[in-house]
Structure formats: structure tokens, C-alpha cells
Amino acid sequence: MQFQWYPGHMTKAKRQMQEDIKLIDLIIELVDARTPMSSRNPDIDDLGRNKARLILMNKTDLADEKKTEVWSRYFKSKGYFVVCVDARSRGGFQQIQNEIMKACKEKIERDLRRGIKNRPVRAMVAGIPNVGKSTFINTYAKKACTKTGNKPGVTKGKQWIRLNKSVELLDTPGILWPKFDDQRVGLCLALIGSIKDDLLNTDELAMELIQILLRKYPGALADRYHIEETDALQTLMAVAESRNCRKKGGELDYSKAAVLIVEEFRSGRIGRFTIEMPKEWES
């Protein structure tokens, strides 16, 4: 399956981020826990050189818990601070605060050595579209906290949200583009719904999804649709039958079944899945 991307305003977004990064100490990078590598853009490592780094594995409510732990260990082994969250709930707030302080320990100590006390850590949220950046900002910041407003000269035109006395967050997230050079990335992002469906062939997508689930989560489709799992095509046909997906004349409608499977996968109704693992990225 071929995926294409039309960068359009990407250069502008990147330039904006380069500007904003100058104002901050810490990047809070959101990734989708179902596909943590494909939902990153490695450019962020370059853009965020010399900044403290925290990865939030978001949408953990939809991901495989055990695999989320594996990914969390993996990112930590690469030197990132990591917290697993569901950005729609404020559950991990304390942990996020703690990790922010740990990630910025050096900066805080440097400030103290220079006699600067209580200067808040400044952070920005970043990530590719649809990973939950706005949801995170709304849940963790806007509802509970007050905006600090513009500070002329220093943060011209920028709004900062005070999370507490030690942390301020830029209210606009940094937007990164997915890395589409690798077709695996395109497939993973299409599966989680990060690429517009009108650019996709849902029949093919469903076939790819079924193959992945049969391989990585045998039994999941059988349980959900009360079918026998065989190969991908037979499985799709069995789902069409089991859910009575039919065209007007009464014959089975496989495209309808394809849409159903993809939608139920995205919403977590088939189960909680993680569709890529760190070892698949080690060449």
C-alpha cells in the first residue's frame, strides 16, 4: 500500500517550532502508545538538542499494557524520561510533575548556582497530528490552571499556562510531521486513524490489519466476531457473514466488513493492541 503526504505548511510549522524551542527548557513529546515509533518524528531529537526531554506515551487505554511497559523501558534506555497516560483523564498528573522535575534537575541546579531561585521550568508539548496534544493541554493545564499572560519583551505573543509554581507550559503545541519515508510508518498511522480515510483504500487497510492481528494477537478476531481464524481473506469473509454485512441484493459486502473491522480496531472494541515493537526497528 502506498501512502503519500503533502507537506504544505510543514516548513512553516517546523520554523515555528524552532522559534518556540528557544523559549523552553523541556519538550514534552506525545506519542501514540499503540504505535510509539511510527507516531514520532525523529527530527525532534535534532530540534530538541540540549533540551530536557519527556515522552508521554498517550492513549494507553487503547494499547496493550504489557507492551506499553516494554516501550517505556525502551525509551528510558535511550535516555528519555517517560510517563504513560490517557490524556483525557488527569490520572498521571503527579507523576508527570515528578518526571518534569527530574528531567530538568540540571537546569534547576544550574539556576541555583547562579543565584536564581524559583524560576519555573518552561515546557512545550510537541508531536505529530492526532496524538492528543490539544487534549493533553486541555486536561492537564487549561482546566486547572491560569494563564500567565504575555510577558512583553521576553515572550512576545506567547501564552504560558502555569501548571504550578514550578512549571509553565506554552499553550500552543509544536506540530511535527510523520516520517513517511518508511511505508511501515504510513501503515501504522493509517491503522490508528492518523491519515485521512479518503486517502486510503480501506479494503487493503483492513487486510493488513487482519494480518497483523492474526500474527500478533491470535484469537482476538475470533473472540470478537465468533468466527474461526484462517487466512486474512477468509477471516474478512467470515466477519462479513457473522456481522451480516450485505449489499442490497443480499450478497456479502466485504468492503462494509472492512470498514467495520478498522473502526472497531481504532475505537478499542476489538481489544487493546500495540502494533509495533522496538525490536522491529532494530536493523
For residue 170, state whether it binds ligand G4P (rule: CB under 6 A). Answer: no
Comparison of 172 and 242: residue with beta carbon closer to ligand G4P: 172
229-to-64, 172, 213, 233, 257 alpha-carbon distances in Å: 21, 46, 10, 10, 15
For residue 142, state whether it binds ligand G4P (rule: CB under 6 A). Answer: no
Q: Shortest Cβ distance from residue 32 to ligand G4P (Å)?
A: 9
- Scanning 123-131, 153-161, 199-207, 251-259 for contacts with ligand G4P by CB under 6 A, the matching segment is 123-131
For residue 58, state whether it binds ligand G4P (rule: CB under 6 A). Answer: yes
Q: Shortest Cβ distance from residue 137 to ligand G4P (Å)?
A: 8
For residue 88, state whether it binds ligand G4P (rule: CB under 6 A). Answer: yes
Residue 217, beta-bridge partner list: none
Q: Shortest Cβ distance from residue 132 to ligand G4P (Å)?
A: 3
For residue 91, state whether it binds ligand G4P (rule: CB under 6 A). Answer: no
143-to-11, 146, 182, 185, 268 alpha-carbon distances in Å: 31, 8, 38, 34, 27
For residue 235, state whether it binds ligand G4P (rule: CB under 6 A). Answer: no
Q: Shortest Cβ distance from residue 62 to ligand G4P (Å)?
A: 5
Q: Shortest Cβ distance from residue 90 to ligand G4P (Å)?
A: 11
For residue 16, state whether it binds ligand G4P (rule: CB under 6 A). Answer: no
For residue 135, state whether it binds ligand G4P (rule: CB under 6 A). Answer: yes
Cell matching residue 268: 478499542
Comparison of 48 and 92: residue with beta carbon closer to ligand G4P: 92
Site for ligand G4P in 95-114 (CB under 6 A): none
**Full 3-state SS string of the chain:** CCCCCCCCCHHHHHHHHHHHHCCCCEEEEEEECCCCCCCCCCHHHHHCCCCEEEEEEECCCCCCHHHHHHHHHHHHHCCCEEEECCCCCCCCHHHHHHHHHHHCHHHHHHHHHCCCCCCCEEEEEEECCCCCHHHHHHHHHHCCCCECCCCCCCCCCCCEEEEECCEEEECCCEECCCCCCCHHHHHHHHHHCCCCHHHCCHHHHHHHHHHHHHHHCCCHHHHHHCCCCCCHHHHHHHHHHHCCCECCCCCECHHHHHHHHHHHHHCCCCCCCCCCCHHHHCC
Q: Shortest Cβ distance from residue 268 to ligand G4P (Å)?
A: 7
For residue 86, state whether it binds ligand G4P (rule: CB under 6 A). Answer: yes
- Of 87, 141, 191, 209, the one binding ligand G4P (CB under 6 A) is 87
For residue 61, state whether it binds ligand G4P (rule: CB under 6 A). Answer: yes
Site for ligand G4P in 171-230 (CB under 6 A): none
Q: Shortest Cβ distance from residue 178 to ligand G4P (Å)?
A: 12
Residues that bind ligand G4P (CB under 6 A): 58-59, 61-62, 86-88, 127, 129-135
